[in-house]
Amino acid sequence: RAKVPRTVTALVASLVEYGDPELTFCAELSVSAPDSVAEMEQQTLKTSAELRARAQNRAALKRFADAAADLEAALALEPKNTEILRTLRTLYEAGKDTAHVVATVRRLAEALPDNPAMQFEAAMLLMISEPETLRDDAAALRFAERAATLTQYKDPQILRAPAMAYYRNGQPDKAVATVKAALALIPAGQAPNLRADLEAALQTYSAGIEAKPDDPATTNHP
């Protein structure tokens, strides 16, 4: 029943929050939480459905940490519910909690062992996340090899993960072989960006082979 004033502050705030120039808003209005939300805050919730409902309400109020806590509790009641994990990941991303995003993606990959895209994503996150303390090269290799196996080593995009994982786990020769196999799968003139990425990786991994020390068993010492 009232006009909400448009302000530059609202535009800037929405741009900063969403990071998308096409998702900016010129006005903002704060409202009180409905009574149902306030009532639910006072309750001790025992079922997954109740916890998920409160999480949704809390997320709408941008209380991402509280919403995530509810979903973690719901997940404890339904440990195989991947939908809860997906929503949990979204919440951690909204709260810019990188450590929990990485951990949740890893849990999703473990819960969806036959999903190659999920295996690939987990592998890549475990190798490139910042800070480096979030990385786990050994686990990344397991997920990457699983993704490659599920796609029968015929998806050049997926093969990027095992190639990188081999290199990061001290196996540059396998990394080079995997990249070459991926390049051979790309038809001539197609996927130029992927081809460029793979060729750059090939140079890096090949340099790793050249820099690899000789086998101590065959090296002659004075």
Residue 222 pLDDT exceeds 60 = no
Amino acid (one-letter) located at 123 = A
pLDDT at 211: 65
Provide the percentage of residues in the chain whose pLDDT is more than 70: 90
pLDDT at 172: 96
pLDDT at 219: 40
Instruction: Round the average pLDDT of the chain to a whole number and report it.
Output: 90
Contacts of residues 103-108 at CB distance under 8 Å and 24 or more positions apart, as own/partner, are: 106/139, 108/82
Average pLDDT over residues 125-144: 97
pLDDT at 19: 84
* pLDDT per residue as tens digits for the range 6-18: 999 989 988 888 8
23 compared with 158, residue with greater pLDDT: 158
Is 108 in contact with 85 (CB distance < 8 Å)? yes
